[in-house]
Chain A
Amino acid sequence: SQKIEQNSEALNIQEGKTATLTCNYTNYSPAYLQWYRQDPGRGPVFLLLIRENEKEKRKERLKVTFDTTLKQSLFHITASQPADSATYLCALDINRGSYIPTFGRGTSLIVHP
């Protein structure tokens, strides 16, 4: 079974709207959760880290929330642009305290002009 769940269907939105991507996990108590961006033919690039004692983190147009009760993280891109089109991966320590993150399968975001 999938350890970390991300929507396998692409998310299509219009430019200027807020994109919201979801990362769900079960049976783990991660100390942290990370989000990466991956463009076609390239390696993932780190975007944001949020720890278990943090509810929300922001960086420019990006916002991440972390709800350890729901076992869910939401990743928001406000005022989305076509250049935001990419695959977004979440990663967390399924073995609590492990420094090695385990990745979800990613969700593709397509922002239409």
Chain B
Amino acid sequence: IAGITQAPTSQILAAGRRMTLRCTQDMRHNAMYWYRQDLGLGLRLIHYSNTAGTTGKGEVPDGYSVSRANTDDFPLTLASAVPSQTSVYFCASSEVSGANVLTFGAGSRLTVL
């Protein structure tokens, strides 16, 4: 079934540790995104990529980095996790058009202690 695969589904991490959340899509979409979702704050954009080789910062990029080496993969890295990064992370993808419709993954629940 075409879509987005995120891994891990859930992770508990000690503060200060490095963590990479993986995201792979098989729809050949040009654009990919990372959002975090927190209770009461909704979905907030962390980073995005228009196409392979390019990335951009969203609303809350601090403490996170991304790379887009190819069309299908868009990993999100926390270089040194902090408790405020405890959240549910969603990867999404879309064609680049005037009103992009996003396809989301199932999410990765991250707890930083």
Interface residues of A (CB under 8 A from B): 8, 31-32, 34, 36, 41-46, 49, 51, 89, 91, 93, 97, 99-106
Contact = CB atoms under 8 A, between A and B. Distances in A.
A102 B97 CA distance: 15
B42 A105 contact: yes
A8 B42 CA distance: 11
B43 A89 contact: yes
A44 B88 CA distance: 12
Contact of A100 (B40, B42, B45, B106): B45
11 contacts: A8-B40, A31-B98, A31-B99, A44-B90, A44-B104, A89-B43, A93-B99, A99-B97, A100-B100, A101-B99, A103-B43
Contacts of A105: 40-42
B98 A32 contact: yes
Interface in B38-52: 40-43, 45, 48
A34 B99 contact: yes
Nearest to B9: A41
Interface of B: 4, 31, 33, 35, 40-43, 45, 48, 58-59, 90, 92, 94, 96-107
Contact of B99 (A45, A99, A103): A99
Contacts of B35: 103
A89 B102 contact: no
Contacts of B42: 89, 103-106
B40 A43 contact: no
A102 B45 contact: yes
Contacts of B97: 99
A91 B92 CA distance: 14
B31 A99 contact: yes
A43 B99 contact: no
Q: Which 3 pairs across A and B sit closest by C-beta, in order of nearness?
A: A43-B104, A105-B42, A32-B99
Nearest to A102: B45
Looking at B45, B98, B103, the one whose CB has the most chain A CB atoms below 10 A away is B98
